[in-house]
Structure 1
Amino acid sequence: MDKQLNDAPCGFLTLSEEGLIITVNRTLLKILNEEPEQVIGQHINTILTVPAQLFYQLYFVPLLKLEHHIEEMYISLKTRDREEIPVLVNAVVKADRGATVTECVLIPMRKRNEYENELLKARNAAQEALLAKQKANAELEIALGTLKAKQEELLEINKQNQQFKLNTKRELELARKIQENSLTEPIVNDQIQIDAYYKASSELSGDLYGFYQIDKHRYGIIILDVMGHGISSALITMSLHPLFQRQITQGLSPVKVMKELDRHLHSLFQNDEEARHYCTAVYLEIDTATKKIDYVNAGHPPALWQGADGTQHPLHATAPPIGMFEDTEFQSRSLPYTEGGRLLLYTDGVMDPTASCYLFDILKDNPDLPIAGLKEKILTSLHHHKETHHKSDDECFILIDLK
């Protein structure tokens, strides 16, 4: 379960066809005051009040089988301390790897009950006013005034929420455009050809890359992946972007580039360990005059060098991820190359969930395919793997031909 769903401001759980709890997010566990092992694998009746158990069997299950979804059904949960928690339930039936599961969103309704109690008090006040003729009109006006104020308050809150959602959507779209516009354009000349692919799993991505011509013969290529997804990861990548762009174009060595990125991440979170993020990255400096590649791999999936003869050489990690440990010593390695070779850099969003990287096989099977055609083959295979394994992750890779 991803972090955003795990800490969403509402409960979330999935049920098997038999009503067994398969997954549950932290928000619902906090509401129930339970630990995961006390809930997962149990029947949903264990977290329902007795009336809710009957309601579940008589109404919830039959309606779900008939309609395959439920909207705003009122039901009551019970906590470990036997406290009754009223919730609204939205549910939908989905197929997951050959099995049928029910995804449920549970929204606590304590505030709604408070408002309903206010309405009941107002009604009782009106009934009492009818018996006490002298006070009836005054108390009724007070009750109606209170009710109207509550309604106006709810309308105003709803209006503010709608405007907030609209503003947030606009801001995220703008941020996405800014992030995409920061990506570098392909490089093609008589020494080298570099192209890339990038796609965020949501509005914003924790993946980022850049490639720059440092001088007549040297090129700097970097790809990185910040832990997590969404806004927090994207903000960190965007704070790293101007730093590595400046470092690379100034011609700093791979070790110095990584040290500066590591120092920057530690400075961001020096007073907040809970918010700390780390980042995996690979930086390569290619010198087409000396036919040499210097690189540092900071905990990133291994880049791949494939020679003109088809021999493959993974560029494994030489250091831990940046931002993980203080005073990390980054190690640089060198790889001599011959003309006609090819490099592949990628983030974990394009890897095969089984351990073997299918990307390596694609390169090996298509040594003479131009970069444009190879890119299409990778995208076709990536689309197939996403459908097979139900993956949803940021996707990014870079292809480099050395002529």
Structure 2
Amino acid sequence: MDEQLNHAPCGFLTLSEDGFIIEINQTLLRILNYSQDSLIEQHVNSILTVPARMFLQFYFFPLVKLENRVEEMYISLETSKREEIPVLINAVSKRVKERTVLDCIIIPMRKRNEYENELLLAKKETEQALKAKHKAITELETTLKKLEIQKEELLELNQQNQKYKIETKKELELARIIQETLLTNPINNDKVQMEVFYNASGELSGDIYGIYQIDQYRYGIILLDVMGHGISSALITMTLHSLFQRLISAGLPVDLVMKELDSHLHKLFHNNEEARHYSTAIFLLIDTESQKIDYINAGHPPALWQDPDGAQYELCSTAPPLGTFEGVVFETKNFTYRKGGRLLLYTDGVDPLASNYLAPLLRKTVSLPLYKLKEEILLYLNNEKNVYHKSDDESFILVDLK
């Protein structure tokens, strides 16, 4: 790296295609309080906050792969002292010595954030003052007669609301029953053994899954998480279900199934960008005769595969979430397995990053039967709710391949 770039007034680093640091200038090392030796050949996750790691995995790398560049993306870095530093990142991919690398310019935004926070605070104080003044004027102008009229209107409205609330609750309960009826049962035979868990954070859920035996040897497993967890998300899961049930049961290839689901979401919101929803998804096609698994991960938390000896592999994101970008090419990944391996698929309500809890638990319980592992995960989820009061849809699928 030349001297001018090494001491430029902004950060600079070069990443490999899979996110490992190849070069980093002194300016960025000084900002992060690291030495060069401690970061070279380390993964970029080592200088990112947890939300930034997820953001780069689900959006930054897929976007660079799709468009060969990223402009003014806002993320947060983490110094060696665990200090969070907001930055803007610009990146471009290029070919160097027959491999693809990413050159990144990083601009700290600490001062700008301080100014924006001061402006927002001043705006909030002004709005509160105006609201207080308006309220005082309104109270002075309100007459006793008007209050009585409003009181009668409110009583009538309250009665209508109570009736609507009861009717809505019944309709939501019916919708919840229909949604849960769509969920397929786990398959257990001499080839595979499965356990599933599904829990909506409210009446309806944005999570949905499907498990299908296609023929004597092939099994299709799909898990999706539609943005949000309200009525709109639940309706979208139902339309996706009818589509993927037909496609997977017909034994279509993994990439074609994901392409059709992506096209379906784009068509749903073709004329209404404000209502657009996206969905993360992971689909696996298991062939027990050839002992091979084909899969595509569209922005979903990485599934975990564990060999019989305990070695683990992450089935990381290979494409952006469904419904985000037009013209995405879905590339099928695959691997062969040995009998006795274990697979775990989950949504981010269970664990946003599998490395936090699920991976160590899977490794520790390699000898336990599936139902015992399921009990351990549920115990963890209950403890998390008691500590952090989490409220999110939760789904996971456990598979043993015999």
The alignment's TM-score, normalised by the length of structure 1, stands at: 0.66
Once the two structures are superposed, residues 15-36 of structure 1 have per-residue CA deviations (whole angstroms, 9 ceiling, x without a partner) of xxxxxxxxxxxxxxxxxxxx99
Q: 1:121 to 1:199 in 2, by over 3 A?
A: closer
Alignment of 1:2-401 (within 5 A): 37=117, 46=125, 77-79=128-130, 84-86=133-135, 117-120=142-145, 152-351=152-351, 356-401=355-400
How many Å apart are 1:86 and its aligned residue?
Answer: 3.1
How many Å apart are 1:43 and its aligned residue?
Answer: 12
Once the two structures are superposed, residues 68-98 of structure 1 have per-residue CA deviations (whole angstroms, 9 ceiling, x without a partner) of xxxxxxxxx533xx773439xxxxxxxxxxx
Greater C-alpha Rg:
1
How many Å apart are 1:273 and its aligned residue?
Answer: 0.9
Contact persistence 1:244–1:261 (CA under 8 A): yes
**Distance (whole Å) between structure 2 residues aligned to residue 40 and residue 379 of structure 1:** 42
How many Å apart are 1:39 and its aligned residue?
Answer: 8.1
SS of 2:324's equivalent? Answer: coil
Contact persistence 1:307–1:340 (CA under 8 A): yes
Q: 1:233 to 1:36 in 2, by over 3 A?
A: farther
**Distance (whole Å) between structure 2 residues aligned to residue 288 and residue 121 of structure 1:** 75
Once the two structures are superposed, residues 225-264 of structure 1 have per-residue CA deviations (whole angstroms, 9 ceiling, x without a partner) of 1112211111111111111011110101110110110010
Equivalent residue number for residue 71 of structure 1: none
Contact persistence 1:352–1:358 (CA under 8 A): no
Once the two structures are superposed, residues 273-327 of structure 1 have per-residue CA deviations (whole angstroms, 9 ceiling, x without a partner) of 1111111100000001110000010011111110111111111111111100001
How many Å apart are 1:397 and its aligned residue?
Answer: 0.5
**Distance (whole Å) between structure 2 residues aligned to residue 357 and residue 312 of structure 1:** 14
**Distance (whole Å) between structure 2 residues aligned to residue 293 and residue 121 of structure 1:** 71
**Distance (whole Å) between structure 2 residues aligned to residue 121 and residue 226 of structure 1:** 47
SS of 1:373's equivalent? Answer: helix
Q: What amino acid does structure 2 have at the position aligned with 1:365?
A: K
Contact persistence 2:341–2:401 (CA under 8 A): yes
SS of 2:135's equivalent? Answer: strand
Residue identity (%): 56
Tell me, which stretches of 5 or more residues in structure 1 are unaligned?
1-34, 49-76, 88-108, 123-146
**Distance (whole Å) between structure 2 residues aligned to residue 121 and residue 400 of structure 1:** 66
Q: 1:86 to 1:304 in 2, by over 3 A?
A: same
The alignment's TM-score, normalised by the length of structure 2, stands at: 0.66
Q: What amino acid does structure 2 have at the position aligned with 1:160?
A: Q
CA RMSD in angstroms comes to 2.7
Larger RCO (CA within 8 A; separation ≥ 6): 2
Q: 1:346 to 1:85 in 2, by over 3 A?
A: farther
Once the two structures are superposed, residues 140-176 of structure 1 have per-residue CA deviations (whole angstroms, 9 ceiling, x without a partner) of xxxxxxx6x7655443322211111111111111111
How many Å apart are 1:208 and its aligned residue?
Answer: 0.8
**Distance (whole Å) between structure 1 residues aligned to residue 189 and residue 379 of structure 2:** 27
Q: 1:83 to 1:176 in 2, by over 3 A?
A: same
SS of 2:391's equivalent? Answer: coil
**Distance (whole Å) between structure 2 residues aligned to residue 85 and residue 332 of structure 1:** 61
Contact persistence 2:214–2:220 (CA under 8 A): yes
Tell me, which stretches of 5 or more residues in structure 2 are unaligned?
1-114
